[in-house]
Structure 1
Amino acid sequence: MRIDKYLWCTRYFKTRNMATEACKKGHIKVNDQVVKPSREVYPSDKLVVRKNQINYELTILDIPESRVGAKLVNVYRKDTTPQEAFEHAELLKYSKEYYRKKGTGRPTKKDRRDIDDFLDDDFETNETE
């Protein structure tokens, strides 16, 4: 089965076209090699799927006949993604919330003072070294 079709059948992508685009962008690796969408996959192949800034590591157990229900996905793949990948994504989410949203205008006086304090602290630590 083609890699794009496999990823669509096992519900990693909502459409087959999205799976194809991910392959073309180099977000899919089979046995540590970037692959084209037409690459055939077989049981025991190792996949790395980069989606939402998380590298999912999968092992193919079996090839489905067609798209499967969400409850049956674990029959066809084994997810070996380390827990640290999900924790890292959670930290990224929190760090993005701290910064100002794009398009909110110029920094306020308080924002400018915070920036100046941060830069002054950084400058003083470099000066003492």
Structure 2
Amino acid sequence: MTQPDSMPSELRVDVWLWAARFFKTRSLARQAIEAGRVEVNDAGCKPAKGLRVGDHLRVGRAEERLEVSILALSARRGPASEAQHLYRETDVSRAAREALREQRRLSGAAFDHPPRRPDKQARRQLRKIKDLR
């Protein structure tokens, strides 16, 4: 995290999402923003939109939807422990994620796994199906 005296007053959304480790690259962050999976203060945004301390973000990643408040700005991607100090997830968002995780865990227990590994013929059929997609 940057020092308070050198902290920028405004930062691009895609840079902040990358620095806060929501996305692995800035390019992925930009794609998510352009696809409408990121909202700043309950409104859509563009990758270059200025982000300030106190703004609220909604970020959609795969099945989960996070709502966070921005506590600090940083243009440098540091370790995960440092990135966690840049935001605070809302209690509602955290509870929804926990419920979704529990639901996936319970539904995964009922998943019927195959009794054994596929044999050579079945592997060839699987490869053929995957190549057609």
Length-normalised TM-score, structure 2: 0.66
The percentage of aligned residue pairs carrying the same residue is: 28
Which whole-Å deviations, capped at 9, do the CAs of 1:41-77 have from their partners, x for residues lacking one?
0000000001121111111111114112111112211
Distance 1:35 1:98 in 2: 40
Secondary structure class of the residue paired with 1:57? strand
Which among 20, 29, 33 is matched to residue 10 of structure 1? 20
Secondary structure class of the residue paired with 2:100? helix
Length-normalised TM-score, structure 1: 0.68
Corresponding position of 2:89: 79
Secondary structure class of the residue paired with 1:11? coil
Counterparts of 1:9-88 in structure 2, within 5 Å, are: 9-80=19-90, 81-88=93-100
Letter of the structure 2 residue corresponding to residue 69 of structure 1: P
Aligned pair count reads 101
Task: Decide whether aligned partners of structure 1 residues 93 and 4 sit closer, same or farther in structure 2, where only a CA change above 3 A counts.
Answer: farther
Q: Where does structure 1 lack aligned partners over 5 or more consecutive residues?
A: 102-129
CA contact (8 A) 2:58 2:66 kept: yes
Q: Displacement, 1:36?
A: 1.1
Distance 1:78 1:40 in 2: 19
CA contact (8 A) 1:54 1:89 kept: no
Q: Where does structure 2 lack aligned partners over 5 or more consecutive residues?
A: 1-10, 114-133
Task: Decide whether aligned partners of structure 1 residues 55 and 63 sit closer, same or farther in structure 2, where only a CA change above 3 A counts.
Answer: same
Letter of the structure 1 residue corresponding to residue 18 of structure 2: W
